[in-house]
Amino acid sequence: MIRRHRILVIGRNGQLAKALAATEWPSLTSLHFAGRDEIDLFHPLRLRQQIGAIDPEIIINTAGYARVDLAEQEPEAAFALNAIAVDNLAKTAAMLDLPLIHHSSAHVFAGDKAAPYRENDRTEPTTVYGQSMLAGEAAIRRAHGRHLILRSSRFFGGYGSNFLKTLLALGRSADALEFAANGYACPTPVEALAATIPHIAVAMIEGRRFPSTLHYAGNAAASWYEIAGEVFTLAGKIQPVPAISPAANSCVDGAAPRIWNLALDCSLARSLGLPQINWRASLPATIEALCANDALGQEQLMPESSPAFSLAALHAA
């Protein structure tokens, strides 16, 4: 009898978890998505028993606290989910000899480098969110288990709240908007990332070694002004859009310090044979689907949902 690869995904409701559930997995894989009702990340003994009962061959962690601005007011919650829970999970995975794939963020960097960040660049986060994510990464490395930390930048897609939905929703209610032209990131279509993770997971189950940390994001850095220009050029074929201009003042109000460079150098991922993620090529179909499904109600905005705060949240995302 042929044995299926059993894969445990921690998280059900986030963008990446939903995209993983919707993606096409290799044959002979069996998925188990576990939420907080089934997995207790804060009780190490119970966690080991629960994962042991599921009996996976690899763990993919998509759970975490992702509200960048709100983390400044809720540091305990951010560190609980992004550091303490990850520490428990990493230790459990190491004890059970299970490889772990963990999703992390470009926010672990200070954002002051003039070029895209490489995996071995100095990490010096300036936000509570970034500090909590870096603490989680450190915990995984301390556990000395087989792992892969995947860092990405600025998710967008059809699931949950994300910057693309916020842009389109704001565009419906404004005649003109300004966007920063002096900061950069690599937008990442979550569906494209989710399409590659299954192949990484199977390769790790079968014994392939990956670097401890890997940058995997959209393949071209862009400023918010450039991103907004791409989005509204495409959306303008479907719905009214605002006029946009580069912001005269680079300061954006918000609780968290602005991180102006969230661009990631993904050359290491390419050298390992992972496909490039073309975020511009993903925009047309995603925008058409969002507009056609009218998935841009106020509840779809990023967590801080007033127009002024949403613009700040965009720059923090």
Q: Which of 65, 117, 129, 225 is catalytic?
A: 129
Burial 32-49 (b: 16+ CB within 10 A, else e): ebbeeeebebeeeeebbe
Give the Cα separation of 139 and 94 in Å (integer). 11
Distances in Å between the Cα of 45 and the Cα atoms of 52, 85, 89, 100 are 11, 13, 11, 18
Sorted by sequence, the CB contacts under 8 Å of residue 273 that are 6+ apart come out as: none
Q: Indicate if 216 belongs to the active site.
A: no
Could you say which DSSP state residue 10 is in? E
CA distance 91 to 143: 5
Residues with Cβ within 8 Å of 211's Cβ and at least 6 positions away in sequence, in order, are 119, 148, 268
Residues designated catalytic: 129
